[in-house]
Amino acid sequence: MPHRHARERLTKEQYRIMREGGTEAPFSGALLHNKEDGTYRCALCGTPLFSSAQKFDSGTGWPSFADVIEAGNVELRDDATHGMRRTQVVCKTCGSHLGHVFDDGPKEIGGKRYCINSCALDFEKGK
């Protein structure tokens, strides 16, 4: 579902990524090395998406999570852009592109790797 006023609420980079399906450069995101306890929320609408308890260092250059806080908060879509078959992760509330999910995460924590753009997330400490 489109989010009204997205252009006014997001930076140019956030808009390019979240509303136009772009990606940030690897190892450039502000939340990549964040190790604080808390909740990662959609930067546009505030929907809770990921917990710091599910975050791990994948070495890929983007924040990576083993799972979402609640399955109903994201939508998974087929993505065949750039000559690849991937699964896109979208905020269910506002329809913003967040990143992609892959099946190459650590097996001991479920085998998933939600590879998410830092600028698509806001971090809330302690929750």
Which one is catalytic: 42, 91, 115, 119? 115
Q: How many whole angstroms separate alpha carbon 24 and alpha carbon 26?
A: 6
Q: Is 119 a catalytic residue?
A: no
How many helices (H) does the chain have, and how many strands (E)? Answer: 2, 9
Token pair 């999570």 is found at 65
Residue that is written with structure tokens 């913003």 in the block: 96
Q: Tell me, what amino acid is at 111?
A: G
* Residues designated catalytic: 115
